[in-house]
Structure 1
Amino acid sequence: MKIPGLSIAHKLYLALALTLMVVSLPLLSLMAWQSWMAALLAAILLGFAILRLLTRKLFAGLQALESGLLNFKDSDFSTLLAYQNDDELGRLCQLYNESAAQLRNEKQWIYQRELMLDKVLHSAPQVLLLTDDKGIVVFSNHSAKALLNCEHNLEGMKLEELALQANPALYNALSEATDGLFELQRNEDDKQTWHLSNGELLLNNQFHRLYIFKQLTRELNRQEVAVWKKVIRIISHELNNSLGPISSMLHSGKILANKLEDTRLERVFSTIDERIRHLTEFVQGYGKFAKLPSPRLAPVVLPELLAQLQAHWQFSCTQADAQSQSRQLLADAAQLEQLLINLLKNAHESGSAPDEVGIEVGFSAQHVQIRVVDSGQGMTEHIMANALIPFYSTKSSGTGLGLALCREIVEAHHGHIQLKNRAQGGLCVEIRLPLTTI
């Protein structure tokens, strides 16, 4: 059986009693033992009273110090000790109070940093997922919920099961557990390119795995456009270097043909002149695409811009609500007008009836959605996959510039353009641009 140890107070009382007993032993030979016992008992009681009076504050301070240290153990640094005597215990209590104040400040600083870090992680566009050694999610941010198509918290759920339910391609990427690119088909017309990087880390003496997903669709599109622009600049430079001398020689040839009065030569030179003009227009058009200036943003009232376009193009206009008449967006008005003109031109050339070409406008909290629709033949999957690439055209006289320029304008405004066939027939070009309310 374990006997609990004596407290400091009990040891002091015991030491006092033993001391008085030893000191009073010589008096036992001078008086009867009954008188000696009575005197000893009285001395012990008096000593206990004096000792309790002298050590009362000391023991109160020790008890307070014990309670404070228990609070330290529970990470509570708000308690301060009131014992302020100028003795060893007082200095110890002062040191405790200073330590508590410092720990309290450090805890508050760490808490603020944790809040800031948590806010940064949850608002990050990258998808962040942390799993334990069993594949259970222990942390996820808001982007992770969107990627896995979950509205509830992911913590406590198995990542493989979530990925399998969300998208097979995502599940395959996680199963391989290797860094690299993969593609997700979010819906019938939206294909996204993602990059996965993952690695193990030791957290609380347990191995965890951190997954970081970054969507690279926009970045890859931007790099693709940059490559096309470089190719176009090189081709334009070489063509311009050749067109100048050819035009000069053509002019000289026309003079000689006029002197010879040979109608066949005149037809040949006229044909060459026509093709040179066409090629010059082609080069100038692509030069405009390759050197498209950065948009000069200014408030644009979309209904007013659409009303101006209706003076030159036939189309119906549908707006989501009456309040949209006063809504404005930050955009380059000239580039936005060029964007809509290109789309309307394509819609009218699609074989659609003119009265079935329309523009639909809708507003959300942060974006304006513009949909240019027609009732033409639509696009095959192959054409739709290449329609936004420069030089690609299905028209015999097309330059492949219109939709490529549209894409460049939209992405320069930090927007998104998407092509999709309509269920009732025809094509829908959907544009999302950032919106501001003024």
Structure 2
Amino acid sequence: MRRLNSLEGRLTGLLALAGLSGAMLYAGITQWPLPQIIAWAHTDLKMELRGPATFGVYGVLAVCLLLLLPLAWWLAHGVMGPLKRLLRALEGAVASYRDGDFSFSIAVRRRDELGELIRMHNELGQTLREQRQHLAQRELLLDTVVQNTPVALVLTDAGDRVAYANIAARHLFNEGRSLNGLSFAQLLGDTPEALRVAVESQEDALFTVEMEGSEETFHLSQRAFRLQGRPHRLRLFRRMTRELSRQEVAAWKRVIRVVSHELNNSLAPISSLAHSGAELARRGNLERLPGVFATIGERARHLHGFIDGYARFAKLPTPRHVAVAWPGFLDALALHCQFRLEGALPEQPGWFDPAQVEQVLINLVKNAHEAATEGGTDDVTLAIAIVARDVRIEVADRGPGMSQTVLAQALLPFYSTKRSGTGLGLALAREIAEAHGGRIALANRAEGGLRVTLLLPLQPA
């Protein structure tokens, strides 16, 4: 039954009907009833009519053909009529889809392949309508979020004209009025110089401008991309004043806690020992006084070293780059700490401040020894290699490594997991590395332990 309802089955039936109609017409002209009708008219009505035999075979075929043409036209019209209507409907649907209208559907019901095509078309239209609705809802939600975010957003086209701007951007650049279609370069003409310089740099930047009688710090993020095949540029201006103020207050609180803790740990014993020394002197027990004074001196030296560490971190001098030969540099480093050199030294000399980098490596090797001791081994290695345009210095140990939480905060100032640590060793190393135009990174080793990587440029930044 399914094959009979198919287009192939229907076409086969129509061809069979056409063939049968032709055969019946030919038989009617040559066999019955036309010859009998002509004979009756000739005999009874005395009418002189020519029979089919006088036309010959070809004549009869011509007559059949003329009589079959209307039937063929009627059958073709019956077959092609629905197809034409369906094609016009599909043409209208495609035009609607092209214009973004997905509400078009076809109401024709058929049980053949065309019916299946219509059903799939209507399902496609329903799917596109649902997706369009979901997309419209998401666009509305996104536009609401973007419009109400405190981050000023400006999207410019290839001609540097504003294609999109949210409420914060309108207030920042045009007193709340619309920015669409305006030249962004002209808008920057009335802004502070620091803002213009940051935008013209075409890079991310942090800048401070004076607004409404106070200073405001902004972070500018700039990205170029293609939208609908055309170049666009997105700029995000985020106010950072409150965030920086909170971070500054939090940093000062950490400093005060660390300093207070260290001062109390040193001053309380000094005060107690001074009182004990005075009491011993009053009693005339002078034998124990040298030990008391030695302990007071030790605590005072510890406190001096603690304060000196903060002073060096706060007043780090500008690095003095010089060419550094590796053998002599490592010989000097070996006088302060112990390590095992891995691999051959590069032939190309380094280019950095030897005193500052030496201090970094002393701290890193010292930390590695402490970690290795905790891990039950004393194997601290140092490796130096040239990678592209940088020199890579790695200090590795076989200790327990660091947790992900500690790794994420180890380079922050005043962060320390040691009971007596100041949290300045790795922070000072990071400060020196960045002052050289390099960076420092920490990672756990697959075979156990921690690896600290110091990258320094071969040429001054």
Query: Structure 1 length normalisation: TM-score?
Result: 0.46
Larger RCO: 1 or 2 (CA < 8 Å, sep 6+): 1
